[in-house]
Amino acid sequence: MTGLFVTFEGGDGAGKTTQARLLQEWALDQGRTVVRTREPGGSEVGVLIRDIVLHHRGEVAPRAEALLYAADRAHHIATVVRPALERGDIVIQDRYLDSSVAYQGAGRVLGAHEVRELSLWAAEGLLPDVTVLLDLDPAAARTRIDADDKPFDRLEAEHASFHARVRDAFLDLAAAEPGRFLVLDAARPADALAVEVQARVGALLGRAGDVGTRG
């Protein structure tokens, strides 16, 4: 593989979509081909799964929910992300397996380790070259989400302690893999954050010969 796989993680309202867009614009300026995608819902099958996990009214058993995200991931990685990386594209993705560990694992009743293993099985071991964690106090994120007119989805409606656990889980993941993660304070201005993301991605592209050892 010769492409570069960049994921954005963080709580709802941390600004992942804005940063993904800014990185896409920068990479296009560098003359690179970019695939911008997301989970859940980065493929046709994924759009159907996304509708279940985000909009189904009523209970979904935790293991079923974890498997739905894993099913979305398995199909998305196999049909969208791996082909793009094999072409040498830069894949810029909103959310990946760290979201499963943070939301389904640490946030709920399942263990972080088992959720991570399930995701790795689904994705045949694919890990990002860099994961940007946009870290934000859940109360500040709430204010941003409230400013949107869109109705809450099922997970956004979860109570504050859940979002605090999700934040801690993301920070634990970043501490465990400092080489993969770039942790940024998402309360800072978007353009300042974008410069840091570009520096990290630019450094990885600069030693492109090293990229491609991924499994």
Binding footprint of ligand TYD on the chain (CB under 6 A): 12, 16, 38-40, 54, 69, 94-95, 99-100, 103-104, 155
SS3 6: strand
CB of 53 to ligand TYD, least distance (A): 6
DSSP character for 30?
Answer: T
CB of 203 to ligand TYD, least distance (A): 26
Q: Which residues fall within 8 angstroms of residue 81, CB to CB, at 6 or more apart?
A: 5, 35, 37, 42, 91, 93, 126
Q: Which residue is nearest to ligand TYD (CB)?
A: 103
Task: Name the nearest CA neighbour of 54 among 69, 67, 42.
Answer: 69
When the beta carbons of 82 and 211 are compared against ligand TYD, the nearer one is: 82
DSSP character for 42?
Answer: S
C-alpha span between 30 and 45 (Å, rounded): 32
CB 39 within 8 A of CB 73: yes
Give the pair of three-digit tokens for residue 121.
Answer: 């099985």
CB of 178 to ligand TYD, least distance (A): 22
When the beta carbons of 8 and 26 are compared against ligand TYD, the nearer one is: 8
C-alpha span between 118 and 74 (Å, rounded): 10
When the beta carbons of 37 and 100 are compared against ligand TYD, the nearer one is: 100
In the chain, what is the greatest distance between 2 CA atoms, to the nearest angstrom? 49
Strand order in the sheet with 90-94: 34-38, 90-94, 4-10, 130-135, 181-185
When the beta carbons of 88 and 114 are compared against ligand TYD, the nearer one is: 114
When the beta carbons of 39 and 89 are compared against ligand TYD, the nearer one is: 39
Cα Rg, the chain, nearest whole Å: 16
CB of 127 to ligand TYD, least distance (A): 15
When the beta carbons of 150 and 207 are compared against ligand TYD, the nearer one is: 150
CB of 141 to ligand TYD, least distance (A): 9
CB of 35 to ligand TYD, least distance (A): 17
